[in-house]
Amino acid sequence: MGLTKREIEDFKNILIDMRNQLTRQVKGFSEDARELEGVKGASQHQAEGAGDSTTQNVLLEVASKEVDVVKLIDRALNKIEEGTYGVCDLTQKPIPKPRLTAIPYAIYTVEAQTMIENDKKNIRYD
């Protein structure tokens, strides 16, 4: 059973809210990392600078992961516009509503996501 127009509209609103929140967070993390860069440059003690570098790296890593989620949210919003929201990009099977409720930006079924992750694990860079 597919999603109703009302359910799709509700998911769209959730996705827009999530996108706005994550965008603000990414901006904040980036600003914090820039501030730490300035502090690190002014720091007199090596240990202080090392801690700042670690914090800066963590902030940038978190920001990067959140940017990835924003991209998935954008894809989900595009799928709403295309009329394919709730359909797996890989298998074309319906994504179960409980999965969309838990992860509104899901573009794959659990099975497809597992296949993708397993393929990534099996890639060798010899």
pLDDT of residue 28: 78
- 36/102 Cα distance (integer angstroms): 35
Q: pTM for the full model?
A: 0.73
Mean pLDDT score of the chain? 84
How many domains does the chain divide into? 1
In contact, 16 and 70? CB cutoff 8 Å: no
The pair of structure tokens assigned to 31 is 């600003």
Does the structure show a pLDDT above 70 at 39? no
What is the CATH number for 9?
1.20.120.910
Structural domain for 24, as ranges? 5-122
